[in-house]
Amino acid sequence: MDQLQMDLLTILQEDCRLPLEKLAVMTGKSLETVAETISNMEKDGVILRYSPVINWDKTARERVEAMIEVRVTPQRDQGFDAVAERIYRFDEVKTVYLMSGAYDLLLLVEARTLKELAYFVSTKLSTLETVTGTATHFVLKRYKSDGVVFEDKNKDKRLVVQA
Amino acid sequence: MSFDPERYVNQSVAAVPKSGIRKFFDVAQTIPGAISLGVGEPDFVTPYHIRNAAINSLLDGETAYTSNLGLMELREEIARYMEDRFQLRYQPKDEILVTVGASEAIDLALRALVNPGEEVLIPEPSYVSYAPGVVFTGGVPAPVPTHAGNGFQLEASELEKRITDKTKAIILPYPNNPTGAILTRENLEKVADVIRRHDLMVISDEIYAELTYAPEGHTSIATLPGMQERTIVINGFSKAFAMTGWRMGFLCAPAYFTGIMYKIHQYTIMCAPRQGQVAALEALRRGREDGMADVRLMRESYDRRRRLMVSSFREMGLDCFEPLGAFYVFPSIAKTGLTSDEFCTRLLKAESVVCVPGTAFGASGEGHIRCCYATALDKLNQALDRIRRFLSTL
């Protein structure tokens, strides 16, 4: 990965709504080069999508989140990939990681209510033949996500004018 | 007979005018929702590992004085840093002094060098403290104007014109606040030549050295032949490590000069605060291990915003010199027909954007405004939109 790609990703992660003209100025490269680099990163799956970081707690939407540890039996030839796919195809499952340690997969699961989430675990997840055990941890509060602090107390404390 | 307080104060201090920035600050503070490009410090908070080092030091009960010069470990680390980053060698034992910000170092240097009536050359526009600092020693500030026309370069010929038999020293403030200019190697050599020929001392304020965007980086005048012996190099942690509020600076000078400054520091300050020194030590130690990652990331972030500012002001039709240091742009607003002060006052009233009039940094700053880009990208973009709108109403 070259410096331009890193620079662009750093800027886009801070604000992905900046127009190409500004990205070109900020990186000191031509508009065409920047457009092409971004387009390539999109094609290569480096940039998957441009989405806001949302604090759902401040919205009216009902939402329950849980981290679920899952132990599974890996399958011949396919290892964990096939069972991971069986799991990530569920809409409720937002994130799936293969982990080292006491369990195999870690899921971030979302549902509207506690009941819905419990229903998902008991009827959809646990019943998969390769799943040998689960442990569900409900999220009580989100402090920081993707590098963004949700209730940032670090307001700008600088003097407005300073020599 | 009525009590007249003016009779009792030091006349040279009383005669120093109040800071030009102060008036502006008072107004700006009262405007809610204002976006400030008037700040003079990083928008980053001190990296967490540095803050944590100071917290641990407190928890460990490290609350005593340090040696007057500063913690030996810190001075050793500063010596390595100065050699690694700027190819300058100083002895931790007697050539490095840890100060309360670079500000104290400037004061120490001036007080150590200047006798009443002696002149100190100060390139302008420049940081507001130099001239009053000279006056406080009984010396006489001798401004050397620089101009946008030649990239705010300090010209050796301009310098030489202002040298008299009373000239003692020159303050070299590069990278420069407020212009963002750095001196080209060629000019630095010419300036050094004048300094050697006229046998002057140099106070080189290099507080923005790490914020240099030229590929070759910062060159200290002390690295030029015959210059280290006559130069007091001033640096610190405020700008490079986002540590302004810690007040941590240092100076490096040959042992004889350090010894003189040591006396003033010892009797007035004792030592810089211990936790600040511990934090500074952590900043340099970690920096040595990870290739100054904190500084590099911040510098890259400033650099992107710097390009955006220069390009935006030029798009608006203003002449904007490309600064290669610090975190300020200093565009010319002369085209608008307004003075710097009028421009900033009207901009603040109309669009709630705070900039600092160039005249706050010396008479040669007229026709310019200082805009600090150490502010969040979305705020910068908003401020630029507002300035653009303001210009369209003129």
Give the ipTM: 0.73
Is residue A50 in some structural domain?
Answer: no
Please give the backbone phi and psi of residue A10, each rounded to the nearest 5 degrees, phi first. -60, -45
Q: What is the pLDDT of residues A59-76, one digit of tens each?
A: 988 889 999 999 999 888
Residue type, B73: E
Half-sphere exposure of B378 (CA within 13 A, CB side): 6
Is the minimum CB–CB distance between B14 and chain A shorter than 8 Å? no
Superfamily per CATH, domain B7-46+294-392:
Aspartate Aminotransferase, domain 1 (3.90.1150.10)
SS3 at position B388: helix
Residue showing tokens 């350090």: B258
Contact B308 A14 (CB under 8 A): no
Q: Which pLDDT value is given to residue B120?
A: 98
Q: Which pLDDT value is given to residue B321?
A: 95
Q: Whose CA is closest to B298, among B342, B241, B371, B228?
A: B241
- Those residues of chain A whose CB sits closer than 8 Å to some CB in chain B are 7, 10-11, 14-15, 18, 22, 25-28, 154, 156, 158-163
Task: State how far the Cα of B391 lies from the Cα of B387, in Å rounded to an integer.
Answer: 6
Q: Domain range spanning residue A121?
A: 62-140
Q: What is the pLDDT of residues B290-301, one digit of tens each?
A: 999 999 999 999
Is residue A151 in some structural domain?
Answer: no
Q: How far is CA B79 from CA A49, B26, B88, B91, B270, in A?
A: 47, 41, 8, 7, 21
Task: State how far the Cα of B98 lies from the Cα of B154, in Å rounded to an integer.
Answer: 29
Q: Where residue A22 sits, what CATH number does that domain have?
A: 1.10.10
Q: What is the pLDDT of residues B189-222, one digit of tens each?
A: 999 999 999 999 999 999 999 999 999 999 999 9
Question: Taking CA A31 as the corner, what is the angle to CA A30 and CA A34, rounded to the nearest 5 degrees?
Answer: 85
Q: Whose CA is closest to B120, among B197, B176, B183, B203?
A: B203
Task: State how far the Cα of B370 lies from the Cα of B357, in Å rounded to an integer.
Answer: 6
Is the pLDDT at A154 greater than 70? The verdict is no
Is the minimum CB–CB distance between B87 and chain A shorter than 8 Å? no
Q: Whose CA is closest to B91, among B108, B69, B119?
A: B69
CA distance A29 to chain B (A): 11
Is residue A147 in some structural domain?
Answer: no
Contact B41 A22 (CB under 8 A): no
Is residue A131 in some structural domain?
Answer: yes
Is residue A105 in some structural domain?
Answer: yes
List of residues 6+ apart from B109 with CB closer than 8 A: B203, B232, B234, B251, B253, B261
Task: State how far the Cα of B118 lies from the Cα of B141, in Å rounded to an integer.
Answer: 9
DSSP code per residue over B32-95:
TTPEE----S-SSPPPHHHHHHHHHHHHTT--S---TT--HHHHHHHHHHHHHHH-----TTTS
Is residue A152 in some structural domain?
Answer: no
CATH class of B48-290: alpha beta
Q: Where residue A136 sits, what CATH number does that domain have?
A: 3.30.70.920
| A84 and A31 co-located in one domain | no
Is the minimum CB–CB distance between B308 and chain A shorter than 8 Å? yes
Angle between helices B20-29 and B340-351 (to 10 degrees): 10
| A37 and A87 co-located in one domain | no
Q: What is the pLDDT of residues B329-348, one digit of tens each?
A: 999 999 999 999 999 999 99
Is residue A69 in some structural domain?
Answer: yes
Report, as an integer, the average pLDDT of B351-356: 95
| A123 and A70 co-located in one domain | yes
Q: Specify whether the CB–CB gap between B99 and B245 falls below 8 A.
A: no
Number of domains in chain A: 2
Is the pLDDT at A84 greater than 80? The verdict is yes
Domain boundaries, chain B: 7-46+294-392, 48-290
Task: State how far the Cα of B269 lies from the Cα of B261, in Å rounded to an integer.
Answer: 11
Share above pLDDT 90 across residues of chain B, in percent, rounded to a whole number: 93
Is the pLDDT at A119 greater than 90? The verdict is yes
| Identity of the residue in B301, B308, B354 whose CB atom sits nearest the CB atom of A160 | B354
| A80 and A108 co-located in one domain | yes
Q: What is the pLDDT of residues B149-161, one digit of tens each?
A: 999 999 999 999 9
| A21 and A66 co-located in one domain | no
Entry field: residues in chain B = 394
Is residue A76 in some structural domain?
Answer: yes
